[in-house]
Amino acid sequence: MSKLVLPVLLLMSVGIIIAGQADRPLADRARMRVADVLAPLWSLLSRTQTDSERLVHGLKEARNLAEENHRLSAENANLRRWYEVAVSLARENDTLKTELHWVPEPTPAFVTGRVVADSGGIYARAVLLVAGTTSGVQTGNIALASSGLAGRVTEVGAHAARILLITDIASRLPVELESSHAAAIMAGDNSPLPRLLYYSQDTRPIEGERVVTSDQAGAFPSGIPIGSVHYLHPGQPVVQPFARLDRLTMLRVFDFGQSEIEPPEAPGHVPLTRPHRALTLPFKTLLGPGQEG
């Protein structure tokens, strides 16, 4: 009997095909009746498969949630320890400032504006800010993104300002390496990673240490975060900026008032006099008698 199953099925298939070709309307009605009979079965099988997939997906999600919960619990405990350390240091800092009669620095004024693409100008890496002199923006103000230094205002109009980014080849600013407390110059080269130049050979930049602004030239206040040190090649340190300078949408422009800090005059200080104007004589007097023409 097992040997006759396959030949019988083949004969039935051939017969069904011949019958379908002989009477097509009858074959169509028979096919639709079979489909109507089997439709609830296919629906049940499909629903069972969908429920099984949802059950498997739910088990995977439950396992992922358990792992995520464990990770978040460990991270929360770690952050709690650091929070306690930060609170202790903040209290100690406040106590020391009170004992030393610390004079706080004035809070800088700032405005926030929308960033648009810079289609003109002489700089390769610059953006336009929709804020100008009418909003209080001045040349020399410092532009900060949400995570770090972005650049400096070089040109300003009534309703727009051009900001030179720290990655431009014309950008040069003094910086300080936070871990080694060494001074250096950060120079842009139109690439996403500005270079570190003129640092002391005794205190080379350390991979991963933070880079902040320095107030040596008086153009920037000290301590503004810029990025971290990274070595593309041995002996060639660069800075990975914290700010996403290629995806700037909003910038805050701060007026730190660096130029307003002027030292008092020392006792006995003699101000420099202006240079004397050159004595001008008529042309005939310079030539002398008999030399005209």
**Confidence band, pLDDT 50/70/90 cuts, at residue 3:** confident
22 vs 111: which has the higher pLDDT: 111
Tell me if 193 sits within 8 A of 211, measured CB to CB.
Answer: no
Beta bridge partners of 158: none
| Rounded distance between C-alpha atoms, residue 120 and residue 199, angstroms | 34
> Does residue 284 register a pLDDT over 60?
no
Share of the chain above pLDDT 70, in %: 86
Beta bridge partners of 113: 251
185 vs 123: which has the higher pLDDT: 185
| Rounded distance between C-alpha atoms, residue 193 and residue 20, angstroms | 74
Q: Which of 45-59, 81-95, 118-132, 252-266 has the lowest mean pLDDT?
A: 252-266
pLDDT at 211: 95
> Does residue 271 register a pLDDT over 70?
no
Share of the chain above pLDDT 90, in %: 45
DSSP string for residues in 236-292: EEEEEESS-GGG--EEEEEE--GGG--PPPPTT--PPPPPPPPP---HHHHH-TT--
> Does residue 149 register a pLDDT over 70?
yes
Q: Which one of 28-42, 58-72, 273-287 scores highest in mean pLDDT?
A: 58-72
pLDDT at 270: 63
Q: What is the dihedral of CA 221, 222, 225, 231, to 10 degrees?
A: 120
Neighbours of 89 (CB within 10 A): 10
pLDDT at 279: 45
Q: Give 171-225 pLDDT, tens digit per residue.
A: 999 999 998 888 999 999 999 999 999 988 888 899 999 999 998 877 788 899 9
- CA 26, distance to chain mean position in Å, is 71
